[in-house]
Amino acid sequence: MTRNSDSLLKEVLTRTRVIAVVGVSMNPVRPSYYVARYLSLKGFTVIPVNPGHAGSELFGRTVVGTLSEIEAPVDMVDIFRRSEAVPPIVDAALEAFPGLRTIWMQIGVENAAAAAKAEARGVTVIQNRCPKIEYQRLFGELRMGRSPQG
């Protein structure tokens, strides 16, 4: 795993405005749901991506089935899928968003080949981390006695 510096993580979270969350769940107890919800509450535009829920509403936005259905520019693709599912997602992200700046793989998600491909295109790659936890940690929102997930 590449170790990302706090300054890089903070830069990514500061420059990012639009996040496509791949693998978002409609179930409020699932990490993908509450991470996406948290990011939307922090002012990020969150575009939910899940083919099983395409057309549903989540956080005031319509869930899309694939990245290619998103017509707006996306700054970050946040991946909530198993590591082996990452390469086609990265390929689709690189094709759909010429200005993509970040691929973020959630805790437990890593794929060296997909990361290298994205990095070769100038995209910042963060693996095995959660933007919600990093946002809370870097912007001073963690409070004693609470888990970073909640």
145 in a structural domain = no
* Cα end-to-end span (Å), the chain: 25
User: In this predicted structure, what is the pLDDT of residue 3?
Assistant: 67
Cα–Cα dist 112/145, whole Å? 35
148 in a structural domain = no
Task: Say if residue 144's pLDDT is above 60.
Answer: no
Tell me the pLDDT band of 143, cut-offs 50, 70 and 90: low
Average pLDDT of span 30-51: 97
Residue 94: which of 128, 116, 75, 121 has the closest Cα?
121
150 in a structural domain = no
Average per-residue pLDDT for the chain: 93
* Domain enclosing residue 22, as ranges: 6-138
SS3 of residue 99 by DSSP:
coil
**pLDDT per residue over 125-141, tens digit each?**
999 999 999 999 999 87
146 in a structural domain = no
For the chain, how many structural domains are there in total? 1
**pLDDT per residue over 48-104, tens digit each?**
999 999 999 999 999 999 999 999 999 999 999 999 999 999 999 999 999 999 999
Here the CATH number for the domain that contains residue 123 is 3.40.50.720
Q: Cα-flanking dihedrals φ and ψ of residue 114, to 5°?
A: -65, -40
144 in a structural domain = no
Q: What percent of the chain has pLDDT over 70?
A: 91
Cα–Cα dist 48/150, whole Å? 20
